[in-house]
């Protein structure tokens, strides 16, 4: 029997009434040395539970390899820390998680197969899920409530009613958890829209809702769908995420707190999405694609109660006051802001051009006719450098049939010729070929996999033949650049034009949180001491990258930037203040 059970209007945990007051915080968006700090701050706000997704694509990067459970992916350790803090856990293993996460959490090796019907009872899809759960669940079972652990409930899929209506698929997932030893309460989660609730729920399984406002109306819709049982908002949206080129989204703390008060006053349980958003480190951000492709920024601050860098914000104090009206709140002071690094200037005085590095160190895959997509090259994220030669000199128009995924920089004999972007639906570029046999190089950046809707798994790289004035260009060398190992990088003092790595060192006295500001730089990636902070872009809104204190070390530290275009300075700044951009009114 599960530890958490339901009554006609609520929950019982080991037979005693429990109102779930939870907050979302994803372990894979938080430096693991900071997990304990964030969990402690969750309890002090008055939460009795935390919620997390589980990203399949990171835990199983190789379909034939083991499940990765180390470092930032050490989910068993995270669950143990939650238990030690006295917090319950809602576990949301997907397999689809959305979460503004690359590909919605589905592995690229799976979505690369165009014949698989994703999120369906297609046996190729359910078979892959079964193999994954066979590896993932055994290390997690000791952390379920049945074994004395903190996990009191497990979600089946995620907002499936907005995607499909394959009840056989949901039933398969339900049975997959049960047959592998998950005894805990299972639940589904969908927007509080009648059609979504009908399509995404299962008989005998708790159905919960997602919404951020109109509390009474949405709770009434949930009650109309299920006449009895707990009312629960599994994603109570208190902020929002940002796309590149937008303004920074915020929501009034007073407004969100008032809706939280209404929700708790109605007797409902809640999971605040997000309590602590964290960061899309490395190449992990997702994207949306409605009318156009729109990638998500590096920060996942979400205007949450606990900021991206772990400080209590205005919503933290407002929510704590609201929760105290409805449930016990620890009689302990609100945590103080973390220590911030005093401002430091970093001179980046060593460089290495990217294109020669790629030609020397990235093994080419030859494609005699059309270039290969990133999926066909077996690469999840990062860049691909494509290279061929142009037979004749003169003016012409390059046509990238099928477009680019997601942003292409074009070079002729090493000189920049232009940029094409998927989000602008660009496929053609006028060029002047300097000579017969000129080298055509195309550097394509994967800006993040679509995480919601029917375009999940859309290919990256060059998406079809490339034509010059209607004539196909052939004989392509395709070089994957995942940039996960830069040990072969040779840096020197000489100037570098075009895409290039820039390196500098700086000294600090002790670890502290910091924010990397790059005024004068255009677009690229940043690493500190080998830790991949993520993407920067002067398009904004985000203007600084969060540097977690554990990434830094007393004494000498290294900063490495991959600048794709040009910089007006050779200097970067570590500051004590974040800047996520102008706010959306």
Instruction: Report how far residue 23's alpha carbon sits from residue 235's, in angstroms, rounded to the nearest whole number.
Output: 9
- Mark whether 281 and 418 lie in a shared domain: no
Q: Which residue segment(s) compose the domain that 504 sits in?
A: 344-352+485-575
How do strand 88-92 and strand 49-53 relate by DSSP bridges? parallel
Judged on CB neighbours under 10 Å (0-12, 13-18, 19+), 360 is exposed
Judged on CB neighbours under 10 Å (0-12, 13-18, 19+), 127 is exposed
Per-residue pLDDT of the chain (585 residues; tens, 9 = 90+): 799 999 999 999 999 999 999 999 999 999 999 999 999 999 999 999 999 999 999 999 999 999 999 999 999 999 999 999 999 999 999 999 999 999 999 999 999 999 999 999 999 999 999 999 999 999 999 999 999 999 999 999 999 999 999 999 999 999 999 999 999 999 999 999 999 999 999 998 999 999 999 999 999 999 999 999 999 999 999 999 999 999 999 999 999 999 999 999 999 999 999 999 999 999 999 999 999 999 999 999 999 999 999 999 999 999 999 999 999 999 999 999 999 999 999 999 999 999 999 999 999 999 999 999 999 999 999 999 999 999 999 999 999 999 999 999 999 999 999 999 999 999 999 999 999 999 999 999 999 999 999 999 999 999 999 999 999 999 999 999 999 999 999 999 988 889 999 999 999 999 999 999 999 999 999 999 999 999 999 999 999 999 999 999 999 999 999 999 989 999 999 999 999 999 876
CATH code for the domain of 23? 3.20.20.80
Burial 374-410 (b: 16+ CB within 10 A, else e): bbebebbbbbbbbbbebeeeeebebbbeebbbbbbbb
- Residue 179 has phi, psi (to 5 degrees) of -70, -15
Tell which of 453, 474, 495 closes a domain. 474
Give the 3-state secondary structure of residue 573.
Answer: strand
Q: Could you identify the residue written with the tokens 């109309």?
A: 224
Whether residue 333 lies inside any domain: the answer is no
- 3-state secondary structure string across 460-529: CEECCCEEECCEEECCEEEEEECCCCCCCCCCECCCCCCCEEEEEEEEECCCCEEEEECCCCCEEEEEEC
Report yes or no: 201 and 207 within 8 Å, Cβ to Cβ: yes
DSSP one-letter code for 10: S
Using alpha carbons only, what angle is made at residue 349 by residues 344 and 350, rounded to the nearest 5 degrees?
125
Residue in 159, 423, 445, 563 annotated catalytic: 159
Residue in 184, 235, 308, 563 annotated catalytic: 235
Report yes or no: 236 and 211 within 8 Å, Cβ to Cβ: yes
- Mark whether 561 and 509 lie in a shared domain: yes
Give the 3-state secondary structure of residue 25.
Answer: strand
Residues ≥6 apart with Cβ < 8 Å to 401: 427, 463, 464, 465, 466, 467
pLDDT at 585: 62
Q: DSSP assignment of 250-305, as one string? A: ---HHHHHHHHHHHHHTT-EEEEEEEE--B--TT-B-EEESSSEEEB-SB--TT-S
Burial 16-36 (b: 16+ CB within 10 A, else e): eebbbbbbbbbbbbbbbebbe
Residues ≥6 apart with Cβ < 8 Å to 14: 3
Tally of domains within the chain: 3
Whether residue 581 lies inside any domain: the answer is no
Look up 159 and say whether it is catalytic. Answer: yes
Compute the residue count for the chain: 585
- Mark whether 459 and 546 lie in a shared domain: no
Instruction: Report how far residue 91's alpha carbon sits from residue 151's, in angstroms, rounded to the nearest whole number.
Output: 7
- Mark whether 314 and 373 lie in a shared domain: no
Q: Could you identify the residue written with the tokens 């706010």?
A: 583
- Residue 15 has phi, psi (to 5 degrees) of 85, 0
- Mark whether 306 and 231 lie in a shared domain: yes
Taking every pair of C-alpha atoms in the chain, what is the biggest distance, in angstroms? 80
Give the 3-state secondary structure of residue 551.
Answer: helix
- Mark whether 118 and 259 lie in a shared domain: yes
Handedness of CA 40, 43, 49, 52 (dihedral sign): negative
Q: Could you identify the residue written with the tokens 């809706």?
A: 259
CA distances 295 to 281, 285, 298, Å, are: 14, 7, 10
- Mark whether 148 and 268 lie in a shared domain: yes
- Mark whether 399 and 520 lie in a shared domain: no
- Mark whether 71 and 144 lie in a shared domain: yes
Instruction: Report how far residue 244's alpha carbon sits from residue 280's, in angstroms, rounded to the nearest whole number.
Output: 13
3-state DSSP helix/strand/coil % of the chain, to nearest 5 = 25, 35, 45
Q: Could you identify the residue written with the tokens 């669950």?
A: 79
Tell which of 474, 504, 535 closes a domain. 474
- Mark whether 306 and 414 lie in a shared domain: no
Which element (helix H / strand E) includes 90?
Answer: strand 88-92
- Residue 459 has phi, psi (to 5 degrees) of -70, 160
Instruction: Report how far residue 385's alpha carbon sits from residue 440's, in angstroms, rounded to the nearest whole number.
Output: 10
Whether residue 527 lies inside any domain: the answer is yes
- Mark whether 261 and 314 lie in a shared domain: yes
pLDDT at 375: 95
Whether residue 394 lies inside any domain: the answer is yes
What are the structure tokens assigned to 572, written together? 């970067």
- Mark whether 491 and 460 lie in a shared domain: no
Whether residue 559 lies inside any domain: the answer is yes
Q: DSSP assignment of 188-243, as one string? A: EEEES-HHHHHHH--TTSEEEEEESS-HHHHHHHHHHHSSSS--EEEEEE-S---B
Look up 376 and say whether it is catalytic. Answer: no
pLDDT at 554: 98
Whether residue 585 lies inside any domain: the answer is no
Instruction: Report how far residue 233's alpha carbon sits from residue 192's, in angstroms, rounded to the nearest whole number.
Output: 9
- Give the residue among 160, 35, 16 at the shortest CA–CA distance from 89: 35
Whether residue 337 lies inside any domain: the answer is no
CATH code for the domain of 448? 2.60.120.260
Instruction: Report how far residue 267's alpha carbon sits from residue 259's, in angstroms, rounded to the nearest whole number.
Output: 13
Tell which of 439, 474, 509 closes a domain. 474
Whether residue 580 lies inside any domain: the answer is no
């Amino acid at each position: 029997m599960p530890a958490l059970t339901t009554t006609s209007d609520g929950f019982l945990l080991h037979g005693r009434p429990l109102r779930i007051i939870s907050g979302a915080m994803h372990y894979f968006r938080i430096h693991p040395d900071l997990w304990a700090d964030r969990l402690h701050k969750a309890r002090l706000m008055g939460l009795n539970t935390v919620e997390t997704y589980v990203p399949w694509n990171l835990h199983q990067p190789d379909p034939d390899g083991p499940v990765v459970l180390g470092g930032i992916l050490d989910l068993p350790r995270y669950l143990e820390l939650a238990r030690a803090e006295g917090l319950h856990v809602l576990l949301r293993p997907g397999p689809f998680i959305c979460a503004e996460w690359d590909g919605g959490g589905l592995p690229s090796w799976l979505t690369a197969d165009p014949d698989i019907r994703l999120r369906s009872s297609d046996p190729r899809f359910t078979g892959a899920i079964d193999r994954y759960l066979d590896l993932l669940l055994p290390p997690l079972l000791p952390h379920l409530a049945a074994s004395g652990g903190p996990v009191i409930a497990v979600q089946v899929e995620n907002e499936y009613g907005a995607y499909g209506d394959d009840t056989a698929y949901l039933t398969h997932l339900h049975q997959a958890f049960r047959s592998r030893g998950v005894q805990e309460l299972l639940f589904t989660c969908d927007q509080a829209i009648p059609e979504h609730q009908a399509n995404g729920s299962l008989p005998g399984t708790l159905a919960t809702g997602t919404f951020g406002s109109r509390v009474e109306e949405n709770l009434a819709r949930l009650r109309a769908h299920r006449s009895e049982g707990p009312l629960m908002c599994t994603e109570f949206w208190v902020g929002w995420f940002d796309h590149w080129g937008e303004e920074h989204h915020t929501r009034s703390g007073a407004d969100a707190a008032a809706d939280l008060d209404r929700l708790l006053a109605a007797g409902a349980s809640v999971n605040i999405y997000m309590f602590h958003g964290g960061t899309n480190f490395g190449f992990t951000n997702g994207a949306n694609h409605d009318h156009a492709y729109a990638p998500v920024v590096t920060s996942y601050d979400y205007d949450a109660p606990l900021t991206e860098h772990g400080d209590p914000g205005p919503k933290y104090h407002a929510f704590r006051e609201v929760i105290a009206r409805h449930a016990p709140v620890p009689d302990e002071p609100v945590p103080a802001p973390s220590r911030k690094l005093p401002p430091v200037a970093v001179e980046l005085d060593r460089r290495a051009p990217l294109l020669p590095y790629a030609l020397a160190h990235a093994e080419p895959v030859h494609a005699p006719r059309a270039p290969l997509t990133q999926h066909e090259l077996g690469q999840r994220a990062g860049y691909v450098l494509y290279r061929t030669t142009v037979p004749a000199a003169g003016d012409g128009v390059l046509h990238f049939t099928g477009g680019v995924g997601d942003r292409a920089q074009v070079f002729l004999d090493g000189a920049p010729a232009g940029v094409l972007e998927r989000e602008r639906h660009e496929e053609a570029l006028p060029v002047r070929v300097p000579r017969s046999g000129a080298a055509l190089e195309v550097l394509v950046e994967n800006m993040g996999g679509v995480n919601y809707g029917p375009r999940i798994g859309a290919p990256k790289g060059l998406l079809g033949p490339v034509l010059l004035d209607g004539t196909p260009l052939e004989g392509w060398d395709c070089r994957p650049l995942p940039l996960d190992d830069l040990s072969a990088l040779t840096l020197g003092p000489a100037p570098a034009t075009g895409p290039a790595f820039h390196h500098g060192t700086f000294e600090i006295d002790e670890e502290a949180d910091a924010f990397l500001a790059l005024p004068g730089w255009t677009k690229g990636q940043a690493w500190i001491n080998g830790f991949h902070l993520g993407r920067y872009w002067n398009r904004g809104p985000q203007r600084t990258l969060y540097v977690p204190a554990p990434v830094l070390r007393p004494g000498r530290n290294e900063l490495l930037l991959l600048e794709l275009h040009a910089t007006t300075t050779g200097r970067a700044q570590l500051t004590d203040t974040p800047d996520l951009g102008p706010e959306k009114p």
